[in-house]
Amino acid sequence: MAMSEVESHDIIVVGAGFAGLYGIHRLRNDGWDVLGIESGSDVGGVWYHNRYPGARCDTLSVDYSYSFSKELEQEWDWSERYATQGEILGYIRHVADRFDLRRNFVFDTRVTGMERNDGTGLWTIETNTGKRYCARFVLLATGPLSAPLDPGISGLDDFKGELCRTSAWPHEPVSFEGKRIGVVGTGSSGVQSIPEIAKTAGHITVFQRTPAYSIPARNRPMAPAELDGFKQKYSEHRQEVRSNYTGFTLETTGKTAAECSETEQRTHLDEVFAAGSLGIVATFTDVLFNVEANEVVAEYVRDRIRERVEDPETAEKLVPKTYPIGTKRPCLDTGYYEVFNQPNARLVDINDTPIERFTETGIQTSAEHHDLDMIVLATGFDALTGAILAIDPVNGNGDRLSDAWRDGPGTYLGLAAAGFPNLFLISAAGGTSVFGNMVTVAEEAIDWVAGALAWMSENRLETMEARPEAQDEWTRHVLEIGNSSLLPATNSWYVGANVPGKPRSFSVYLGGFNIYTEKCREVAENGYEGFSAR
Ligand code: NAP
């Protein structure tokens, strides 16, 4: 195809989730000619695809929302403390309408590859529609949890019943009424969907490999006065949460566990548990770093699980004992453990009786065959790097990002990869990403990139690239903090242990959202220190 047949823009943004949408808004306002490319049929990203029953955010609605527009903050009314998928998608659609963002997107278009020509300085983007695009700059706003994984157990295609994936839930209503349903996976998606499925299922069998630590979300309607209170002090609230470790409301004692007496520990844990917050893993500053501190919180949560499950044998299977709390992503639930008190529910611990295969009529374990009308897969994602490496950018020398990341993702500030000029990563490995408020993390990253592009433009620069030595130093720093925590030792999606063959690496910056954003600001103020630009 001749270059003239390739649609050209200044900037291409891949993804129409929270990050991509704000990217288009901000960069378009800055005067750039932008195009967004999205595989879904509309805006929303994971909130477009993950529409399974029970899907809901476990960050407070007032935090999990954009801060870039004061008018938007004032006009949108969150109806619940933790918003449902439907309400979040409604909000994202409202944002797209209000700021007229869809006109800069092509939908139903998946980016399948991209390659840079150092001669022209342009990236060419390949898509599944066959259409090609080119741009000087590309932002991959593809999300850290957007490349779904099937369980890698044989026979899935043989199953003749209904098959649903939480990560790509059907848009038509799905009925569970009277059906025999098997759910594989007990992470956030399983823990949220299982109670909803169990309400009407004839029978539900949950196939559990690793139990989650989950506490009740205690979701409730947002009282008008409460919402008004937030609206009156949104700026202060945003400022306050941006200056903490995560970028969202965080209940913490600000002390290590050892600095609190047993009574104090218990009081604080009771408070956070009663509030229903993932902040339980931040109750003490060292929960993710110190085995004893972790055990205080883990044991507290284990006891709460035991209290919720009537059958002691089932309760013990649901209690996580093999890994510290917070080293796999903990969950907030609404009636999860109580499902196992229902007569129509059964827990199968597949460590005792492994799944051998899917069959035409259900799931065969080493002990028995489970006859099923429907299988629900809640088996997770190739996190942090999966969506980026599915595109696998190729630079002007023919080097692939997948080769550069063979031993784990190296980035500078999570925003750029050395050797890949004018390519910006949003919410990627090397940043605070999944340990921060995803909306705020995205806004910060987009604003940083917008600032960098404006600086280039002012200085008549065309190419910006992370210096290898700056990237190496930053990556070492990220790994050093990560390795001082309890996280790398646990098999989790954080370290890529859920993806066969993926290099094991804990590559999320654990130093804190506040410290990270300060570092990014410093880099910019120092003339984009650590980048080379020409
Ligand atoms: P996940 O946390 O990775 O959970 C996947 C589950 O499937 C795990 O229980 C895993 O077991 C199991 N599994 C995977 N392969 C299996 C196999 N071959 N056989 C049996 N079990 C298998 O995925 P997720 O629940 O979709 O959540 C991913 C992340 O998305 C969350 O941690 C969270 O960050 C985000 N999320 C957030 C929300 C929210 O805001 N409320 C909702 C959904 C998702 P193992 O643990 O043994 O690997």
Q: For 11-27, write each residue's pLDDT tens digit.
A: 999 999 999 999 999 99
- Cα 299 to middle of ligand 1, angstroms: 22
Q: Rounded CA gap, 512 and 526, in Å?
A: 21
**Ligand 1 neighbour 185 (Cβ under 6 A):** yes
In angstroms, the CA 6 to CA 9 distance is 10
Tell me, using a 6 A CB cutoff, whether residue 330 lines ligand 1: no
3-state SS class at 211: coil
447 lines ligand 1 (CB under 6 A): no
Pairing of strands 180-184, 162-165: unpaired
What is the percentage of the chain residues whose pLDDT exceeds 70?
99
* Euclidean distance between CA atoms 320 and 307, whole angstroms: 14
Over range 314-340, report the average pLDDT.
98
Q: Who contacts 239 (Cβ-Cβ below 8 Å, separation ≥6)?
A: none
Burial of 121 (0-12, 13-18, 19+ CB in 10 A): middle
Q: How far is CA 287 from CA 246, 252, 309, 335, in A?
A: 15, 11, 26, 26
3-43+101-147+382-533: CATH class: alpha beta
What would the mean pLDDT of 196-200 be, rounded to a whole number?
A: 98
Please tell me the distance from the alpha carbon of residue 17 to that of residue 40, in angstroms, as a whole number: 10
Q: What is the pLDDT of residues 430-473, one digit of tens each?
A: 999 999 999 999 999 999 999 999 999 999 999 999 999 999 99
d(CA 449, CA 451): 5
Report, as an integer, the average pLDDT of 340-357.
98
pLDDT, tens digit (0-9, with 9 covering 90-100), for 74-90: 999 999 999 999 999 99
Query: Average per-residue pLDDT in the chain?
Result: 97
CA of 493 to the centre of ligand 1 (A): 8
- Output the CA torsion sign for 307, 309, 312, 315: negative
Q: Is 471 in the pocket of ligand 1 (CB under 6 A)?
A: no
450, amino acid identity: A
Token pair for 232:
């009156």
Tokens 């139903």 — which residue? 108
pLDDT tens track for 147-186: 999 999 999 999 999 999 999 999 999 999 999 999 999 9
The DSSP annotation for 330-394 comes to -EEESSTGGGGGSTTEEEEETTTS-EEEEETTEEEESS-EEE-SEEEE---B-TTTHHHHHH--B
Asked if the domains at 3-43+101-147+382-533 and 150-212+328-380 fall in one CATH topology, the answer is yes
Domain assignments of the chain as residue spans, ordered by start: 3-43+101-147+382-533, 150-212+328-380
**Which of 448, 188, 208, 453 shows the shortest CA–CA distance to 333?**
188
Residue 274: exposed, middle, or buried by beta-carbon count in 10 A (0-12, 13-18, 19+)?
Answer: exposed
pLDDT of residue 413: 98
Cβ(54) – ligand 1 distance below 6 Å: no
Query: H-type helices in 408-494, by residue range?
Result: 438-458, 468-483
Which amino acid residue places its CA nearest to atom 33 of ligand 1? 188
Q: Global pTM?
A: 0.97
Q: Is 436 in the pocket of ligand 1 (CB under 6 A)?
A: no
Contacts of 170 (CB under 8 A, 6+ apart): 164
Check pocket membership of 144 for ligand 1, CB cut-off 6 A: no
The CB of 210 under 6 Å from ligand 1? The reply is yes
Cβ of 495 less than 6 Å from ligand 1:
no
Residue 226 CA to ligand 1 center (angstroms) comes to: 33
- Tens digit of pLDDT for each residue in 404-417? 999 999 999 999 99
Q: pLDDT at residue 4 above 90?
A: no
Please enumerate in sequence order all residues whose Cβ is within 8 A of that of 37, keeping only pairs 6 or more positions apart, or say none.
Answer: 12, 13, 14, 15, 105, 106, 109, 111, 125, 127, 133
Cβ(192)–Cβ(329) below 8 Å: no
Q: Is 35 helix (H, G, I), strand (E, B) or coil?
A: strand
Average pLDDT over residues 240-255: 87
Q: Does pLDDT of 3 surpass 70?
A: no
Fold of domain 150-212+328-380:
FAD/NAD(P)-binding domain (3.50.50)
- How buried is residue 143: exposed, middle or buried, by Cβ count under 10 Å (0-12/13-18/19+)? buried
pLDDT, residue 246, reads 87
pLDDT of res. 259: 97
pLDDT at 1: 46
The model's confidence at residue 251, banded by pLDDT at 50, 70 and 90, is confident
Tokens 């990220």, residue located: 478
Atom of ligand 1 nearest to the CA of 355: 19
Q: What angle do CA 349, 492, 386 make, to 5 degrees?
A: 120
